[in-house]
Amino acid sequence: MPSANPISAPISALAPAQLDVAGELLALLRDAGTEPRPDIQLEALTLAVAADLPVLLWGEPGIGKTAALTQLAESLDLPLTTVIASVHEPSDFSGLPVLGDDPAQQGVPMAPPDWAVRLVRAGRGLLFLDELSTAPPAVQAALLRLVLERRVGALQLPPGIRIVAAANPRASAADGWELSPPLANRFVHLQWVHDHEVVVRGLGGTWPRATLPRLDRDRLPEAVAHARRAVCGLLAARPELVHRLPAGESRRGGAWPSPRSWEMTLHLIAFATAAGSSRDVLSLLVRGTVGDGPGLELLASLDRMDLPDPETLLAEPAAAVLPERGDLRQAVLDGVVAAVRARPERGRWDAAWTLLARAAETGPPDVVVVPATTLAALRRDEWDVPDTIERLAGAVDLSRRADRAALGLGSGTAVPAGARR
C-alpha cells in the first residue's frame, strides 16, 4: 500500500487554521459603525415606515437598496424577513389549500408559508420583498392582498409588521416586468440613488444611521388639520387630479394619483409636519405617492398655504415678516398688489408701497420691479406720491440695469418682460 503524500498532509492540517484567520479578516471587514448624518432618502424611507405605508425602492443593481434595508432593520431593532418575490409561486402569498376532514362543512383553509408564520410569532418586524420587478404578473396579483390588507392566506399579519420592497428598472432587471397598476398604486415609490460622500464614508467604516422621526405630540392635531386642508384644498380646485391613470404602461407601474394614493399622501404630510421634516423630504414622499405633476402642484399649494394674508400685511406693513425664498416673496407681493386692486384706497395703496420698500431693503430688489410697476398704475389723480417711491426708485433702476447688463443690452434699451424675474 503506498504511503501518504508527504506534501498534502501538512496542507490539509493547516487548512482549518487558515480558514479561521480568513474568518477573522472577514469579521474586521464587516465591522462598521454608524453616525447621525443628514440623508433625505433615508429620512423619507423611515418616515414612510413610521406611517405604516408600504414603500418601494427603485434603483439600479448594486446601488445599496438591500444594504439600506438591512441597516434600517438593525437601527430600528426590527427582525428582517427577506422574500425574493420572483422565485415564489402565487400560492406562496395567497396560501396553499389544505384539505380537512370535511371540506364541504369546514371549507378549505389556505395555509400560509413559514415566513409569514414566523412574522406573526414575532409580532413585529420588517418584511422585505426584493426583486419585485422580476415577479411575473400572476405573482404580482397574489401580492395585492399582502401589501394592502396584510393577509397571507388565512393569516393576518400583526400591526407591528412594516413592508418595504425593492425593484430594478425594467431595462436593468433580469427578465423584468412592468409593475401592474393595482400593485404600483399601493406603494410609496422612492428613487434610490447613491450619494458619493455617503458611499466613501461608509466604505471607510461609518454609514449613516436610520432613526425614526421624532413626532411632536403637541403638533399632532395641527398636523392632521394641515394635511387635510392641503390635500382637500387642491383636489377641490383640481377635481381631475383625484384619479388619473397614466396612458403609458411604464408610468402606470410608478406613482400616480388615485383616492388611495391621495390618502397615503395625506398621512405622509401629517407625519412630516409633526416631525418637522424638510421640504426636500416631503417632496420625495409626495411625488413618490401621486407622481411628479400632481405632487409638485400639491407642494406649490402647501407653499401658498404658509404665506401671510395680504390683508394682515396691509394692516401692519412696518412689522411685516416676508418669506426668505424669492419665489414666495414674489407671490406675497403680487398678492398684496392684487388686494389693493380689488379694493383701491389711499391708505392701502400707501401701505403697499411701504411693504415693497421693506422687501427691497431686506432681499433682492428684482422681486419688487413688477409689483411696483403694477401698483404705480393703480394711482388715482388725487393721491400724492409717497416718499417710499423715492426709496424704491434706486433699487428698481439698479435691478433693471443689472438685467440689461446680463442680456448685453444698452442703457437705453427696454428689458423684455420675460427677462425680468
DSSP letters of 6-69?
TTHHHHHHHHHHHHHHHHHHHHHHH--EEE----HHHHHHHHHHHTT--EEEE--TTSSHHHHH
d(CA 225, CA 355): 31
- Positive/negative CA dihedral, 350, 356, 361, 365: negative
Looking at the predicted structure, is the pLDDT value of residue 415 above 60? no
pLDDT bin (cut points 50, 70, 90) of residue 218 is: very high
C-alpha cell at 356: 415693497
pLDDT of residue 101: 62
Q: Using one digit for the tens of pLDDT, what is the confidence trace for 143-186?
A: 998 998 898 888 889 988 999 999 988 666 556 688 899 999 99
Whole-number mean pLDDT of the chain? 83
Cell of 250: 411604464
The listed CATH number (3.40.50.2300, 3.30.70.100, 3.40.50.300, 3.30.1050.10) that belongs to domain 36-96+109-208: 3.40.50.300
Beta bridge partners of 207: 34
Query: Is pLDDT above 70 for 63?
Result: yes
| Domain ranges within the chain, ordered by starting residue | 36-96+109-208, 217-305, 310-419
pLDDT digits (tens, 9 = 90+) for 99-136: 666 666 666 677 788 888 899 999 999 999 988 888 88
Task: Kindly state the cell numbers that stand for 261.
Answer: 394614493
pTM: 0.74
Say which range, 32-41, 252-261, 348-357, has the weakest mean pLDDT: 32-41
What distances in angstroms separate CA 34 from CA 40, 74, 99, one per listed residue?
Answer: 16, 11, 50
> At 163, is the secondary structure helix, strand, or coil?
strand
Q: 91: exposed, middle or buried (C-beta count within 10 Å: 0-12, 13-18, 19+)?
A: middle
- Count CA within 13 A, CB hemisphere, residue 15: 5
Percent of the chain with pLDDT over 90: 33
Q: How confident is the model at residue 404 (pLDDT cuts 50, 70, 90)?
A: low
Please name which of 153, 135, 140, 16 lies closest in space to residue 95, comparing C-alpha atoms: 153
Tell which residue, 418, 420, 341, 332, has the closest CA to residue 374.
Answer: 341
Query: Residue 293: pLDDT above 90?
Result: yes
- Residues pairing with 125 in the sheet: 161
Please report, for the chain, how many H helices and E strands are present, in that order: 19, 11
pLDDT digits (tens, 9 = 90+) for 33-58: 888 888 899 899 999 999 999 999 99
Q: What digits encode the pLDDT tens for the residues 7-24?
A: 555 555 566 788 889 989
Do the beta carbons of residue 170 and residue 38 sit within 8 Å? no
Task: Name, of 43-47, 82-86, 411-415, the range with top average pLDDT.
Answer: 43-47
